Amino acid sequence: MKLRCAVLDDYQSVASTAADWSPVAGEVDVVCFEDHCASEDELVTRLSEFDIVVTLRERVPFPATLIERLPRLRLIVASGMRNASIDYAAAERHGVTVCGTASTATPPVELTWALLLGLARGIVTEADALRDGGPWQSTVGADLYGRRLGILGLGKIGSRVAAVGLAFGMDVVAWSANLTQDRADEVGVGLAASKEELMETSDFVSVHLVLGERTRGLLGAKELGLMKPGSYLVNTSRAAIVDQDALLDVLRRGAIAGAGVDVFDVEPLPAGHPMRSAPRLLATPHLGYVSQANYAAYYGHAVEDIRAYLDGAPVRRLG
Quote the Cα angle for 20-24-26, to 5°.
120
| Rounded Cα–Cα distance for residues 50 and 63 (Å) | 17
Kindly give, in sequence order, each residue whose CB lies less than 8 Å from that of residue 247, ignoring residues fewer than 6 positions away. 219, 224, 233, 259, 261
Q: Is 267 assigned a catalytic role?
A: yes
301 part of the active site: no
Q: What is the CB neighbour count within 10 angstroms for residue 177?
A: 11
Q: Which residue out of 238, 301, 304, 316 is catalytically annotated?
A: 238
**Is 36 labeled as catalytic in the residue annotation?**
no
- Given 4, 59, 267, 280, the catalytic residue: 267
**Does residue 96 contact residue 311 with C-beta atoms inside 8 Å?**
no
Paired sense of beta strands 75-78 and 52-55, if any: parallel
Our separate counts of H helices and E strands in the chain read: 12, 12
Report the candidate in 122, 60, 124, 3 with the shortest Cα–Cα distance to residue 268.
60
CB distance 86 to 60 below 8 Å: no
Angle in degrees, CA 104, 107, 111, rounded to 5:
155
| Amino acid code (one letter) for 299 | Y
Catalytic one among 57, 148, 286, 316?
Answer: 286
CA 258/CA 233 separation, integer angstroms: 7
The CB density around residue 91, as the number of other CB atoms within 10 Å, is 20
C-alpha closest to that of 307 among 45, 52, 34: 52
Q: Annotated catalytic sites, by residue?
A: 238, 267, 286
